[in-house]
Structure 1
């Protein structure tokens, strides 16, 4: 269940702007605020089925966008690649510290580490 909630949160984070205001609101209340369909329906004066239809439609839109673009998949792949690059920079920095003691290598490793840290946060 947590995996599904995480997936839905990612889909919303990446593609939520493509939803209507009503879809965004219901989706947020259901997945982020953890309100039940019945609670949302009561608050908005509509049926539980009406709320479910809006949320299911929003899920379908978000899923379809990811299926077509693959942005989240690429995002995860890039995060893995950034981690691998950080590990390689750490190995080079360690080798430089223990063997070469080259100030330029140390400087460049520091720059690479800073760039990778920034990229992972964006």
Structure 2
């Protein structure tokens, strides 16, 4: 269940702007505010099935967008690659510090890589 909620949150974060205002509202109330279909239906004066239809349609749109673009999949790949680069920089620094002869150039290049990595994470 937590995986599904996390997946739905990611889909909304990446593609939510592609939904109608009504779809956004119902999706947010259902997934983020944890309101039941019946509670949303009562608040909006429509049937529970009507709310469900709007949410299912929104889920379909978001899922289809991810299937076509793969942006979330690529986002996760990039996060993994960032972690790999960070681990490599940390290893190089550790090895450099353990050497009898500390190489300032090596440390400088590590700093350059770290700076670029930090910039990429902010974008």
What TM-score results when the alignment is normalised by the length of structure 1? 0.94
Q: Paired residue for 2:121?
A: 120
Cα shift at 1:90? 0.8
Q: Paired residue for 1:111?
A: 112
Note the residue ranges of structure 1 that are not aligned, 5 or more in a row: none
Q: Distance in 1 between matches of 2:9 and 2:58?
A: 12
What RMSD in Å do the two structures reach over aligned CA positions? Answer: 1.1
Q: Distance in 1 between matches of 2:35 and 2:115?
A: 41
Q: How big is each residue's C-alpha offset from its partner over 1:39-76, in whole Å with a ceiling of 9 and x where there is no partner? A: 00001111100000000000000000000000000100
Cα shift at 1:27? 0.2
Count of equivalent residues = 122
Q: How big is each residue's C-alpha offset from its partner over 1:2-57, in whole Å with a ceiling of 9 and x where there is no partner? A: 00000000000000000000000000000000000000000111110000000000
- More displaced stretch, 110-119 vs 49-58: 110-119
Cα shift at 1:94? 1.1
Q: Paired residue for 1:59?
A: 59
